[in-house]
Chains A and B, each alone.
Chain A
Amino acid sequence: MTEQIDQALSRTYDAGFISDIESETFAAELNEDVIRRISAMKNEPDWMLEWRLRAYQNWLTMTEPEWAHVHYPKINYQAISYYSAPKSMKDKPKSLDEVDPELLRVYEKLGIPLYEQEMLAGVAVDVVFDSVSVVTTFREKLQEAGVIFCPISEAIQTYPELVKKYLGSVVPRSDNYFAALNSAVFTDGSFVYIPKGVRCPMELSTYFRINEQNTGQFERTLIIADEGSFVSYLEGCTAPQRDENQLHAAVVELIAMDDAQIKYSTVQNWYPGDEHGKGGIYNFVTKRALCHTNAKVSWTQVETGSAITWKYPSCILKGDNSVGEFYSVALTRGRQQADTGTKMIHLGKNTKSTIIAKGISAGHSNNTYRGLVHMGPKADGARNFTQCDSLLIGDLCGAHTFPYIESRNPSAKVEHEATTSKVGDDQLFLCQQRGLDAEKAVSMIVNGFCKAVFKELPMEFAVEAGKLLEISLEGSVG
């Protein structure tokens, strides 16, 4: 039976193709000059360059964190190219017609034709192809509602006061090693601003894609939901197959003002490396939200890709009655390593947080949940509920749970539940005896295990996530 599972799990990476769009790429090195050149390429104002340079100075004094339950060869930061842009993008296209047809074909291969997205899904898509945002759709409709959704490089030009005020306000430049690096060299990402009392009329979606060999991707996302507003943001990733390890160190900052709500959903499917663990993306991401009074932030993530995942989407529950939620499915197989979880920092009174984390390990992979629940001295009546379940497929993989709980307030309540189970031979046999093949059986059992998280995803994303899981578990999931 184990053999069957292994077969079911060894599949080729569907999105593993390299497109041959010409790129303008910096030579591999990292120094102040590189940062100045990135800033110049982006036509940035001086304050932005200053900010980057200070981040770089911070980074130089820091050391790479080693506490995570992951192992990888030392990264040579001088061997990475920090800027790459599709050449034909020098003059930004005003519509899809002006977009490089090769680029459009890449998206079609990925099954996300922009035309269809535009017409059918009604989703505005800010596509990051390597480091430059290619096209942004439905901007006008969003503008009517007063919503700003644009590449952050554009926001730096157009809305400098907003960017100045909030960039680095949740994840400071010197927060951690990878955040500092990102602050110094980030190339692009998304910027969202929802005005007071506005319910964003559509779900905002971004597809990221790493395309240039040896190019670290350093996206920077900043979302500000002003008082009483609501936004649902979807982030999906896929990357082509290659042998070089690729560093991906993104920073996402969310600011939910009083009574605002942000729902941030991620489906992450970066190239995980081959069955021996060669290649694959290093995904070292800092995601954090600041919640003001009565605000609510939900992080939902489905993580199936990357060679290494180091990621802890967190909520700082600063305002009274604010709510933080974290729903996560992390699937590892082959030689993948994931160390992921969340931090819920309860500062305000009657703050509430919920953590539902589902880890699935297969092959030789290691899957770690690491979570912190902190109850500050002023967090009277604060409550947390954590449920952390691990599912093992086969007997060569590992599941680990590191829950940290710090309570400085006697009235705070923290609950933690954890389970570990195995996909049983008897479960597989039942499904097969009913006529399902082993692949379908495994994916059905795993999907059942993840149900509590999938129901938190926006409808069409939930379907996609289920499919992704199936693909990740099959020869080519569906």
Chain B
Amino acid sequence: MLTIKNLHASVEQKNILNGLNLSIKQGEVHAIMGPNGAGKSTLGYVLSGRDGYQVTDGEVDFQGNNLLELDVEQRARHGLFLAFQYPVEIPGVSNMELMKESVNAVRQHRAETPLTAAEFLKKAKAACQQVQLPLEFLKRGINEGFSGGEKKRNEIMQMILLEPSLCILDESDSGLDVDALQIVANGVNSQRDGKRSFIVITHYQRLLDFIEPDFVHILANGKIVKTGDAALAKQIEKEGYAFLGLDNSAEASA
């Protein structure tokens, strides 16, 4: 479903990704770990097409499409979803307004009829319940005055509503207490249906206690330097990245 070959990308003319290869099949969960500045978030932004992230080399195939040729919104409509590490506030625009537009933009792309207000509301309520967000959050301005945990849960709520085929979770665990972590993880797990794929970017193994990955990749210096299973994450939790023999300059420069 997603094949990344030799991906090079830079931000403000600084190389961040240096020949990254990654292949993800339907239904798989891939965790991406790595030291600060390794390029983890950059990978999420490059795949979603954010402005300012220049792809200098390589190919990305997403469900038979040349992903790099698509606009941000086209990638989203094809089923690529990014849960933000720092969800931004949009005052005065309610979750409901944005998500109704979003859901119907995706449906239109799939040649499905738009949801009526009532149909949408029903789905939105279910999504809120899934991540234990009170329904009033639908009416509130996007992330406006939300706590850190509420913002992250709100991202997962949006993900559930949009039914994407590939979900990229960018540190969806950061800043969460154990209870909130559990809620986020449950929300994600509820969407694992054997077809939907996930890229879970995280610093900490603890998220992977709740969301069990099929693969764990270590990203360093803009490349995947090691791939394993859940045990690899446990090893890193215990020993840090030192055993990989990475020099610390990577951390400093990235």
**Contact residues of A with B, CB < 8 Å?**
1, 424-427, 429-438, 440, 444-445, 447-452
Contact = CB atoms under 8 A, between A and B. Distances in A.
Contact of B101 (A427, A433, A440, A448): A440
Interface string B122-153: 00000000000000000001100000000000
B92 A451 contact: yes
A444 B93 contact: yes
A452 B91 CA distance: 11
Contact of B72 (A426, A432, A444, A447): A432
Given A1-B51, A429-B50, A448-B141, A434 B102 contact: yes
B168 to A, nearest CB: 10
26 contacts: A425-B51, A426-B88, A430-B87, A430-B90, A430-B142, A431-B98, A432-B72, A432-B73, A432-B76, A433-B48, A433-B82, A434-B102, A434-B162, A435-B73, A435-B76, A435-B109, A436-B73, A436-B98, A436-B102, A437-B73, A444-B97, A448-B91, A448-B93, A448-B141, A449-B91, A450-B92
Contact of B102 (A425, A435, A445): A435
Contacts of A429: 50-51, 72
Given A426-B88, A434-B76, 10 more contacts: A1-B51, A432-B73, A433-B48, A434-B101, A435-B101, A435-B102, A440-B101, A445-B93, A447-B93, A451-B92
Contacts of B81: 433
A450 B93 CA distance: 10
Contacts of A447: 92-93
Nearest to A1: B51
Interface in B60-98: 71-73, 76-77, 81-82, 84, 87-88, 90-93, 97-98
B36 to A, nearest CB: 21
A445 B77 contact: no
A5 to B, nearest CB: 11
B141 to A, nearest CB: 7
B18 interface: no
A444 B101 contact: yes
B92 A449 contact: yes
A239 B163 CA distance: 45
B124 to A, nearest CB: 14
B106 interface: yes
B46 interface: no
B99 interface: yes
* 5 nearest A-B residue pairs (beta carbon): A448-B92, A448-B93, A435-B105, A434-B102, A432-B72
Given A1-B51, A434-B158, A445 B76 contact: no
Interface of B: 48, 50-52, 71-73, 76-77, 81-82, 84, 87-88, 90-93, 97-99, 101-102, 105-106, 109, 141-142, 158, 162
A444 B98 contact: yes
Given A1-B51, A429-B72, A448-B93, A434 B98 contact: yes
Contacts of A449: 91-92
B211 to A, nearest CB: 21
B6 to A, nearest CB: 25
A426 to B, nearest CB: 4
Contacts of B48: 433
Contacts of B93: 444-445, 447-448
Nearest to A444: B93
Nearest to A419: B91
A241 B99 CA distance: 37
Q: Which of B51, B72, B162 has the most CB of A within 10 A?
A: B72
A167 B73 CA distance: 56
B170 to A, nearest CB: 11
A434 B90 contact: no
A451 B106 CA distance: 26
A400 B53 CA distance: 34
Contacts of A426: 88
A450 B92 CA distance: 8
Q: Which of A426, A430, A435, A438 has the most CB of B within 10 A?
A: A435
A448 B77 CA distance: 23
A424 B82 CA distance: 18
B77 A435 contact: yes
Contacts of A436: 73, 98, 101-102, 105
Nearest to B141: A448
Nearest to B90: A427
Contacts of A450: 92
Contacts of A433: 48, 72-73, 76, 81-82
Contacts of B90: 427, 430-431, 444-445, 448
Nearest to B101: A436
Given A424-B88, A430-B88, A435 B106 contact: yes
A450 B88 CA distance: 19
Contacts of B72: 429, 432-433
Nearest to B161: A434
Nearest to A441: B73
A435 B82 CA distance: 11
Contacts of B77: 435
Nearest to A451: B92
Q: Which of A1, A424, A426, A434 has the most CB of B within 10 A?
A: A434
Nearest to B82: A433
Nearest to A426: B88
B215 to A, nearest CB: 24
Nearest to A423: B90
Nearest to B83: A433
A451 B93 CA distance: 8
A385 to B, nearest CB: 19
